[in-house]
Structure 1
């Protein structure tokens, strides 16, 4: 079987029973289960959620996005082999560790297949919770231009690119476009301050002001857990994005949980420790792919300049990347995943057929 066939690029066409449109994001597709199926699964599987909680099947893909575009390769390779399985395996590993160490639960209730999560519907906190241990990327570009305040935090003079910061910085941005918040632009991914959040906690979907402290604690504690574990593998946890939300447990108690994915090469920068000590940056994350794209195209400004989005979308649509580019990224994702989970990632011969069989035979979700 060709590599292209092993890639799960389209994940919104599975015959899962649902009454709602399938929500397809850049990487994952979400199928909301019928009330009857949600109720039946909660009872059969004993999930710690209210009997009437809405459940969804979340299916990851091997698609790769960067600079807000989905990229594809030559020979019909519309994704990166092993990427989806690697992302889910890494997230599963960290979520389990957070729970074991008493931090917080996640939205995941069950993992039927390496590409599939059964999740509980959560009320999302409308914040991209970003934590930085090193100055690099967009923060460095802004610093280099003279900016010394990020998300309301003053940064010292005299820092150099890729330098470790004196302390872990929390530099949040908005999740989606939030209208009508004083001092916050109504655009996606705009930087916000802690003061913005405190003054408008309900607009960001926090239940109460004290949960702002709690989300920051969960963010810092989780960052420390991942950073410590990666250090054992001689990897550096540089920065990351977390997402949070609220759910109710079986007894009806509301709790703040981790959502989306955590500590993955998509949501984080991870550097090789040995290379860093030699003064080199070796990325074990999607940043490697971003840098590759910036070098691959003659006019990298298209990828960096938000005023050129039409050109950027055209660039991604009209340019099939060489297969070796996608295979290099595949090696990065699978390599870091295998380091983290301590075992081999086995590529499925036909992930879609496997998913359909499991969801039909073990979960009764496909007719």
Structure 2
């Protein structure tokens, strides 16, 4: 079997029984189960949720996105070998630690396969909850141009690129396009202040103003837990994005949980500690791939300028990246996943068939 065939690139065509269209994002696809299958699984598997909770099968892929585009390689490579399994393994590890340490639950109820989560329906908080411990990336680019206020927080003069910030910063942005919020443009990924959130908490899907403090607490505690664990591995947790949502517990009460993914190379920057102390930045995250793309193409502004999105999409569509580029990304993802979890990441020879077989035999979700 070729390398390209071991990559799960298309994950929205599985024959899972569902009443609604499959929702496919940049990396994951979501299959909402029928009400009958949801009730049966809750009963059979003993999931700690209300009996009428809608469930979904979430299937990750090996696709790689950067700068809001999906990239591919030569030889029919439509993704990165091992990436999906590595991302899920890392998220599973952190979600489990969060629960064990009493922080909060996640949306995950079951893990049938390294590529698959069974999740409960959650109402997402419409915020990309970003935490930063170092000044780099887009924040540094803005700072270098003279900006000193970020999401209502003022930064001092004199900070150096890639240096540690005076304190851990929460710099939230909008998740999706939100309308009719004073002072917040109706666009995705717009930076917002705490006052924006407090004044319009219902528009961001918070149940109460008090839950804003809870989300901030869970964000800081989650960041600190991952940061401390990575420090023991001589890795630096630079910045990350968390997402939150509400689910109903088995008594029907709302509770705020972590959702999406946490502490992964896709959602975070992770630097090698030894190299950082030597004055070098070695990325153990997708940021390394982003930097490579910026160097690979002659006009990096295409990748950074949102006004040139059509050119950027054409760039991703029409350029097959060298195989060694995608394999280097594979090595980064697998290495950091194995370092974090302490377990080997096994590449599936035929991941799609494995998923189908398990969901049919053990969960009766495929006819």
Q: Which band: TM-score by shorter chain?
A: over 0.9
Match of 2:67 in 1: 67
| TM-score where L is the length of structure 1 | 1.00
Q: What is the CA distance between 1:7 and its match in structure 2?
A: 0.3
Q: Does structure 1 residue 97 correspond to structure 2 residue 97?
A: yes
Q: What is the CA distance between 1:2 and its match in structure 2?
A: 1.1
Alignment partners' CA distance in 2, 1:296 and 1:312 = 13
SS class of match (1:303): helix
Q: What is the CA distance between 1:93 and its match in structure 2?
A: 0.0
Q: What is the CA distance between 1:145 and its match in structure 2?
A: 0.3
Alignment partners' CA distance in 1, 2:325 and 2:95 = 30
Match of 1:260 in 2: 260
Alignment partners' CA distance in 2, 1:167 and 1:301 = 31
SS class of match (2:112): strand
Q: Does structure 1 residue 235 correspond to structure 2 residue 235?
A: yes
SS class of match (1:334): helix
Structure-to-structure mapping, 1:37-56, within 5 angstroms: 37-56=37-56
SS class of match (2:205): coil
Alignment partners' CA distance in 2, 1:66 and 1:221 = 28
Q: What is the CA distance between 1:256 and its match in structure 2?
A: 0.2
| Number of equivalenced pairs | 367
Match of 1:247 in 2: 247
Q: Does structure 1 residue 301 correspond to structure 2 residue 307?
A: no
Alignment partners' CA distance in 2, 1:67 and 1:261 = 18
Alignment partners' CA distance in 1, 2:59 and 2:48 = 21
Match of 2:357 in 1: 357
Match of 1:291 in 2: 291
Alignment partners' CA distance in 1, 2:51 and 2:349 = 37
Match of 1:317 in 2: 317
Match of 2:220 in 1: 220
* Structure 1 runs (4+) greater than 2 angstroms displaced: none
Match of 1:275 in 2: 275
Structure-to-structure mapping, 1:58-137, within 5 angstroms: 58-137=58-137
Match of 1:158 in 2: 158
Alignment partners' CA distance in 1, 2:13 and 2:306 = 31
Q: What is the CA distance between 1:254 and its match in structure 2?
A: 1.1
Match of 1:140 in 2: 140
Q: What is the CA distance between 1:17 and its match in structure 2?
A: 0.2
Alignment partners' CA distance in 1, 2:10 and 2:300 = 28
Q: What is the CA distance between 1:88 and its match in structure 2?
A: 0.1
Match of 2:2 in 1: 2
CA-to-partner distance for each residue in 1:271-302, whole Å, 9 max, x for gaps? Answer: 00000000000000000000000000011110
Alignment partners' CA distance in 2, 1:282 and 1:3 = 27
Match of 2:326 in 1: 326
Match of 1:28 in 2: 28
Alignment partners' CA distance in 1, 2:126 and 2:217 = 17
Q: What is the CA distance between 1:101 and its match in structure 2?
A: 0.1
Alignment partners' CA distance in 2, 1:303 and 1:254 = 40
Alignment partners' CA distance in 2, 1:22 and 1:246 = 22
Alignment partners' CA distance in 1, 2:11 and 2:310 = 26
Q: Does structure 1 residue 211 correspond to structure 2 residue 216?
A: no
Q: What is the CA distance between 1:253 and its match in structure 2?
A: 1.6
- Worse-matched range after superposition: 247-256 or 53-62: 247-256
SS class of match (2:118): strand
Alignment partners' CA distance in 2, 1:274 and 1:3 = 33
Alignment partners' CA distance in 2, 1:231 and 1:366 = 43
SS class of match (2:48): coil
Alignment partners' CA distance in 2, 1:322 and 1:160 = 34
Match of 1:168 in 2: 168
CA-to-partner distance for each residue in 1:135-158, whole Å, 9 max, x for gaps? Answer: 000000000000000000000110
Cα root mean square deviation, aligned: 0.3
Alignment partners' CA distance in 2, 1:189 and 1:300 = 20
CA-to-partner distance for each residue in 1:109-136, whole Å, 9 max, x for gaps? Answer: 0000000000000000000000000000
